[in-house]
């Protein structure tokens, strides 16, 4: 969708300045920091509430609901976010999401009863689910093709920053001050993002071409000629209008079916990798390895590794490509999970594991690193890249709903699996799923690196150039 020029008869893409694309993406991703703090809030807080002398003593069963109600709220948020982003626009929708986040933190700060915390977690979940749809959508629509991968990976990077901050602040601050800090993240988001332009793609869809031109000039720089890119957006909008989009368009053509399969598959394997279960089990793994490191420090170390490697992913994804990184990620995760299962199998059979204290730590670190460079960020990125404008919002909403449904199921069932099957078999099941993920990526996920929306649609259609109405 970039402007093109001619050099020696060869069409070349015009490159704009990147500064405002980065500024807008970073400010939008401050919302992802808020998502991370909301997700990780339970990790330092629940152990405090399990103490008998806590200001609000709760059981572990009640605590599991404090954690999982966020996932149920996120499913609702994902469902309504698509129509909201299409109706209000990407920018206004994102700004409005500060409301559920701030409301939930206010409730948590002043709550004295468990049911109020339940309500707060469901409310913040609705904001989390919507943010997971709208932030990647906004970034994919403002980014040039050459920087789309790096900017798209920022969502996962900033989310891990939020998790890291929650682990650090949760370990050293009181319950109330911790919640205030989490609320201030949303204030920072509002202060930064309110100055950013609306998505030019959405503006063109709304037939507001002068505003789209202005927005594109900000994102690409004064010396950039936006006419070709705007014309391409206009063509895609007219094609979309002619198609009179509905939810059935998600399965009407081969391209739309393949996009749906790739996006849903990415989300499915991301969560069925057991990432939440492994992070949930970080403390016992550290303890089982004989490490003297305190549980709080162990959690911070894991979050720090994830943050650093998400940053690495943002730097390399436009060079290495989506597909190779996904296949590398799922393969190494499978090996790590097999090794983790092997360690716990030896332990269960009362074998001597004193010389293998390094194995669970190494496996866990490798698992987190490989997740962070592929299976973590890329499904979110593909969600913004695979769908045409007219179905992007609804398709993204459904993909995120699936993601959060799986978060809920894995988080709720993991303790029972661990108890019933044993940690060894549980980790081996996740390993088998990662082997399947590698095969799925090879056969069904297209490479989107360096390709325009039109080129991606043509590849999904099977490489043939089809009439616009059938794309």
- Give the global pTM: 0.80
Can you give the C-alpha Rg of the chain in angstroms? 23
CATH T-level topology, domain 18-196: Growth Hormone; Chain: A; (1.20.1250)
**What does the pLDDT look like over 55-98, one tens digit per residue?**
777 777 777 788 778 888 999 998 888 889 888 999 999 999 99
Non-local CB neighbours of 187 within 8 Å, separated by 6+ positions: 98, 102
* Average pLDDT score over residue span 293-311: 80
- In the numeric block, the tokens 């996904």 are attached to 326
* Average pLDDT score over residue span 189-196: 95
Query: What pLDDT was estimated at residue 291?
Result: 59
Query: What pLDDT was estimated at residue 90?
Result: 92
Residues 173, 297, 377, 442, Cα dihedral to 10°: -160
Q: How far is CA 207 from the centre of its chain?
A: 30
**What does the pLDDT look like over 383-417, one tens digit per residue?**
878 887 667 778 888 888 899 899 888 877 777 78
Q: Report the chain's mean pLDDT, rounded to a whole number.
A: 83
Q: DSSP secondary-structure letter at 249?
A: G
Return residue ranges of the chain for CATH 1.20.1250.20. 18-196, 249-461
Non-local CB neighbours of 313 within 8 Å, separated by 6+ positions: 153, 156, 157, 325, 372, 373, 374, 376, 377, 378
Non-local CB neighbours of 460 within 8 Å, separated by 6+ positions: 254, 255, 256, 258, 259, 262, 386, 446
Which pLDDT band, with edges at 50, 70 and 90, does 17 fall under? confident
Options 3.40.50.300, 1.20.1250.20, 3.30.530.20, 3.40.50.880; CATH for 249-461 is: 1.20.1250.20
**What does the pLDDT look like over 251-280, one tens digit per residue?**
677 878 888 899 999 999 999 998 877 776
């Amino acid at each position: 969708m970039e402007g093109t020029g001619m050099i020696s008869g060869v069409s070349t893409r015009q490159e704009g300045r990147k500064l405002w694309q980065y500024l807008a993406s970073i400010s939008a991703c401050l919302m992802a920091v808020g998502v991370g703090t909301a997700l990780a809030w339970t990790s330092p807080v629940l152990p405090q509430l399990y103490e008998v002398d806590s200001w609000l003593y709760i059981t572990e069963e009640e605590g599991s609901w404090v954690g999982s109600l966020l996932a149920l709220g996120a499913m609702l948020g994902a469902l309504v976010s698509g129509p909201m982003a299409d109706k209000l626009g990407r920018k206004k929708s994102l700004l409005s999401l500060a409301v559920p986040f701030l409301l939930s933190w206010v409730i948590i700060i002043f709550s004295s009863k468990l049911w109020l915390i339940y309500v707060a977690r469901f409310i913040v979940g609705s904001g989390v689910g919507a943010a997971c749809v709208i932030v990647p959508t906004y970034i994919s629509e403002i980014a040039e093709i050459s920087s789309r991968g790096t900017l798209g990976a920022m969502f996962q990077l900033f989310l891990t920053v939020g998790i890291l901050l929650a682990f650090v602040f949760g370990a050293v601050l009181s319950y109330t001050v911790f919640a205030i800090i989490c609320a201030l993240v949303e204030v920072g988001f509002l202060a930064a993002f309110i100055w950013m332009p609306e998505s030019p793609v959405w503006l063109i869809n709304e037939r507001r071409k002068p505003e789209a031109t202005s927005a594109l000039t900000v994102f690409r720089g004064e010396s950039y000629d936006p006419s070709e890119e705007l014309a391409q957006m206009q063509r895609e909008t007219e094609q979309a209008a002619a198609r009179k989009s509905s939810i059935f368009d998600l399965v009407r053509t081969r391209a739309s079916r393949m996009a749906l399969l790739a996006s849903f598959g990415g989300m499915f394997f991301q969560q069925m990798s057991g990432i939440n279960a492994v992070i949930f089990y970080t403390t016992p793994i550290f303890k089982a390895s004989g490490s003297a490191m305190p549980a709080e420090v162990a959690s911070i170390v894991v979050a720090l590794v994830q943050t650093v490697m998400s940053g690495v992913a943002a730097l390399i994804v436009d060079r290495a490509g989506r597909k190779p990184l996904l296949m590398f990620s799922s393969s190494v995760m499978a090996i790590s999970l097999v090794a983790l299962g092997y360690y716990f199998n030896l332990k269960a059979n009362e074998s001597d594991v004193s010389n293998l204290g390094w194995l669970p730590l190494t496996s866990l670190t490798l698992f987190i690193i490989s997740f962070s460079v592929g299976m973590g960020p890329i499904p979110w990125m593909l969600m913004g890249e695979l769908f045409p404008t007219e179905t992007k919002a609804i398709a993204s909403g459904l993909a995120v709903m699936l993601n959060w449904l799986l978060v809920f199921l894995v988080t709720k069932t993991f303790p029972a699996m661990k108890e019933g099957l044993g940690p060894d078999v549980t980790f081996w099941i996740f390993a088998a799923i990662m082997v399947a993920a590698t095969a799925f990526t090879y056969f069904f996920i297209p490479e989107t690196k360096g390709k325009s929306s039109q080129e991606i649609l043509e590849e999904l259609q099977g490489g043939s150039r089809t009439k616009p109405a059938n794309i």
